[in-house]
């Protein structure tokens, strides 16, 4: 049986083609950014913590990927640089400042960065702002995967906010699915996946 993250990757892998523009909304240690970089060279990855940028830069450089770090908006011209993995030190709620073209896919891993400051967590209002922008930027046939970790303080509130928000998307233009275990005693992550029809 596929775990939720493997299912998320599989749903994205199915549609992402080389040169598609994609977004990693929560870079963290860069595992999803690396996964995306094996599918396309055009990635905008966001995180609010410098540790995340450093860890992801290391992971991608080791894999031989072309990485650009963007930590202040004065580097605007870097945003249009040839296909590359852009590691942006900013919140995903500001995605519109950086991504000006339609995107094929996005992934969120909600929660906190493992082994780092557990008080730096994704929050309902900023997550929904990002989601709203990314759903507008998404092309027809594009998908957004949300891995929702919710075992930490504040996690349940964010999970409910996201599920409520995606449940209101018009069924004529959106497919909205969930995937996750129902019989586990802890709080394993659940996947919410959106496709624009
Ligand atoms: C569960 S971790 C992500 C794990 C990551 N996808 C990986 O592959 O390692 C969540 C990340 O979201 C980041 N985060 C929190 N608020 C954010 C925001 N407003 N915008 C972007 N990232 C944010 C945290 O700093 C943390 O690194």
CA of 110 to the centre of ligand 1 (A): 6
126 CA closest ligand 1 atom index = 19
Residue nearest to atom 19 of ligand 1 (CA): 91
| Predicted local distance difference test score (pLDDT) of residue 28 | 96
Classified as helix, coil or strand, 83 is coil
As for ligand 1, residues whose beta carbon falls within 6 Å of it are 26, 28-32, 46-49, 52, 91-93, 109, 111-113, 120, 122, 126, 149
Residues 6+ apart with CB under 8 A from 36: 12, 16, 22, 24, 43, 45, 105, 107
pLDDT at 26 exceeding the cut of 60: yes
Instruction: Domains for the chain: give ranges and CATH numbers.
Output: 4-196 (3.40.50.150)
What integer is the mean pLDDT of 137-157? 96
What mean pLDDT, rounded, does the chain reach? 94
Q: What is the DSSP letter of 153?
A: T
pLDDT at 118: 84
Ligand 1 atom at minimal distance to the Cα of residue 116: 27
pLDDT above 70 covers a percentage of the chain that reads: 96
- pLDDT tens digits, one per residue of 76-92: 667 776 678 999 999 99
Q: Give me the pLDDT at residue 89, please.
A: 95
Atom of ligand 1 nearest to the CA of 147: 1
User: pLDDT per residue over 3-25, tens digit each?
Assistant: 999 999 999 999 999 999 999 99
What is the Å distance from ligand 1's center to 174 Cα? 25
Atom of ligand 1 nearest to the CA of 34: 8
**Mean pLDDT lowest among 36-50, 71-85, 96-110, 126-140:** 71-85
Q: What's the average model confidence in pLDDT over 25-36?
A: 97
pLDDT tens digits for 54-77? 999 999 999 999 899 887 655 666
Q: Compute, in angstroms, the gap from residue 111 CA to the centroid of ligand 1.
A: 7
Q: Give the pLDDT confidence score for residue 165 in this predicted structure.
A: 98
The Cα–Cα gap between 34 and 43 comes to: 10
């Amino acid at each position: 049986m596929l775990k939720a993250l493997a299912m998320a990757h599989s749903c994205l892998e199915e549609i992402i083609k080389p040169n598609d523009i994609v977004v990693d909304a929560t870079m963290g240690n860069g595992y999803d950014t690396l996964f995306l970089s094996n599918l396309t060279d055009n990635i905008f990855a966001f995180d609010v913590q410098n540790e995340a940028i450093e860890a992801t830069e290391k992971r991608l450089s080791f894999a031989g990927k072309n990485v650009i770090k963007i930590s202040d908006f004065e580097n605007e011209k870097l945003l249009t640089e040839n296909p590359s993995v852009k590691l942006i030190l900013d919140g995903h709620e500001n995605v519109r400042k950086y991504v000006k073209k339609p995107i094929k896919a996005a992934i969120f891993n909600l929660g906190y960065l493992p082994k780092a400051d557990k008080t730096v967590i994704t929050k309902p209002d900023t997550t929904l702002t990002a989601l709203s922008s990314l759903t507008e930027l998404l092309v027809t046939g594009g998908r957004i995967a949300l891995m929702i970790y919710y075992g930490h303080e504040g996690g349940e509130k964010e999970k409910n906010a996201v599920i409520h928000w995606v449940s209101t998307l018009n069924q004529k233009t959106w497919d909205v699915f969930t995937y996750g275990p129902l019989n586990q005693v802890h709080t394993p992550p659940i996947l919410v996946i959106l496709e624009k029809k």
